Amino acid sequence: MSVIPRRALIALAAVLPGAAAAQPGRPVSLVVPFPAGGDTDVTARFLAERLSPRLGRPVVVENRSGASGTIGALHVARAAPDGDTLLFAPSTFATAPVVLRRGASYDPVRDFVPIALTTTAPLMLVAGRSAGIRSVAELRAQAQAGRLTTYGTPGSGSPMHILGQMFNRAAGIELAEVAYRGLAPLVNDLLSGTIALGYVTPAVAAQHVRADALVPLAVSERERSPVAPDVPSFAELGFPDLVFPSWSGVFAPRGTPGEVAASLSAHFDAILAQPEVRARLAGFAVVPGSGDPARLAAIVADQFGRIGRVVRELNISVE
C-alpha cells in the first residue's frame, strides 16, 4: 500500500493541480459498495459535490452493492489505476475479506492506495429503555444470571457482530447474536422492547438517546468520543482490547501514480478542512477526517490484521 506523506500533499497539489484531471471533462467514478440512501452513500455524495469543482470534472457516485461491500471494492481493485475510478468505503472494507467464508478476492492492504480518511466514529452498545439496564456492569450481571441472552446487530459478519463477540469473550458471558437486515429494524426492536441490547452507530442512536428511549452503555474507542462525550469507552470500563472504530475513506487501485494519489489526497484535505464541511459531517454524528492517507493506511492494516485474528479465533464467518 503506497502512502504519500501528508506534508507533501499540499505542495504536490500546488505543483500538479491537474494531476487528477488528466482527462478533462471525463467523469470520475466514486464507487460506493452499498445501496443508495445509506450513511456511506449520503456522505460520499456530500463530498463528491465538493470534489467536482476542485477537479474541474464531474464526480459521479456509482452504487455497486452486494456481498458485504466486496463487489464494489473488487470492481475498483480491477479498474485502471489512473485516478478515474475511486472507492468510497466504510470499515467493512477491511473486515469483509476475513469474515466471508468464501473470501473477498481482494486484499485491502495490498490492492489499494489510500487517499483520504474522511470520517471516524465509534460503534456503540445500547440498551432499550424497557430493559432496565443502565451500565455495562448491570448488563454483565444480568447476562451472568441468565436474564439476558441475546444482542442485536445489523447483520452477521458486520463490525457490530464482531464487536459483540469480542465483548462476550472479554466479559466472560455468552450472549447469542440476533442478526437484523440493517440498523433500522434493529433500532425499531430496541425501541419496542422486542430485544434488550444492540450494537449500533451513534448516527442512528443519537435522537433516541436524547429522548431517553435508548441507553448508551459504551463506545468502541480507547477514549471517549467527541460524538458521544458522556458515554464511557470500553477501555475506560476495563476492556482495553475493545477498540474498534468505524470509519469511511477513499481508495484508488494499486498502481495509481504517486502524483495522482497525492493530488487527490490534497483535494480531500482541503475539502475536509472547510468549517462548513466539518460542521455538516459532525451533524451526521461522525468525526471529520483529513486527506492524510497514512492514518487511513494504519487503520486498515490494524483492522485487517488484529480484527482478522479475532475473527478467526472466534470462528466468525458468513456466506
Residue 223 cell numbers, joined: 477514549
Query: Looking at the domain assignment, is residue 319 inside a domain?
Result: no
Q: Are residues 12 and 158 in the same domain?
A: no
Q: Are residues 99 and 183 in the same domain?
A: no
Query: Looking at the domain assignment, is residue 183 inside a domain?
Result: yes
Cα 23 from chain centre: 31
130-147 pLDDT per residue, tens: 999 999 999 999 999 999
The answer on pLDDT for 3 being more than 80 is no
What share of the chain in percent tops pLDDT 90?
Answer: 82
157-184 pLDDT per residue, tens: 899 999 999 999 999 999 999 999 889 9
182-237 pLDDT per residue, tens: 899 999 999 999 999 999 999 999 999 999 999 999 999 999 999 999 999 999 99
Alpha helices in 114-182 (DSSP H): 136-144, 159-171
Query: Looking at the domain assignment, is residue 287 inside a domain?
Result: yes
Query: Looking at the domain assignment, is residue 230 inside a domain?
Result: no
Q: Are residues 13 and 116 in the same domain?
A: yes
Q: Are residues 280 and 208 in the same domain?
A: no
Instruction: Return the higher-pLDDT residue of 25 and 57.
Output: 57
Q: Are residues 94 and 189 in the same domain?
A: no
Q: Are residues 213 and 270 in the same domain?
A: no
Q: For position 100, which CATH number holds?
A: 3.40.190.150
User: In this structure, are residues 287 and 277 in contact, taking their beta carbons and an 8 Å threshold?
Assistant: no
Q: Are residues 165 and 299 in the same domain?
A: no
Q: Are residues 202 and 263 in the same domain?
A: no
Residue 15: predicted pLDDT? 41
Q: Are residues 251 and 117 in the same domain?
A: yes
In b/e form, how buried is each residue of 195-230, taking b as 16+ CB within 10 angstroms? bbbbbbbbbbbbebbeeebbbbbbbbbeebbebbee
d(CA 86, CA 135): 42
Query: Looking at the domain assignment, is residue 86 inside a domain?
Result: yes
Query: Looking at the domain assignment, is residue 276 inside a domain?
Result: yes
Instruction: Return the higher-pLDDT residue of 104 and 48.
Output: 48
Q: Are residues 186 and 147 in the same domain?
A: yes
Beta bridge partners of 249: 89, 117
Q: Are residues 145 and 249 in the same domain?
A: no
DSSP type of residue 307: I
Q: Are residues 84 and 157 in the same domain?
A: no
Residue 164: predicted pLDDT? 97
What share of the chain in percent tops pLDDT 70?
Answer: 91
Query: Looking at the domain assignment, is residue 231 inside a domain?
Result: no
Domain count, the chain: 2
The answer on pLDDT for 14 being more than 70 is no
Which of 183, 202, 219 is a domain's end point? Answer: 219
This prediction's pTM: 0.87
Query: Looking at the domain assignment, is residue 83 inside a domain?
Result: yes
Which residues, at least 6 apart from 224, have a Cβ–Cβ distance to it below 8 Å? 230, 231, 232, 233, 236
* Domain coverage including residue 196: 124-219
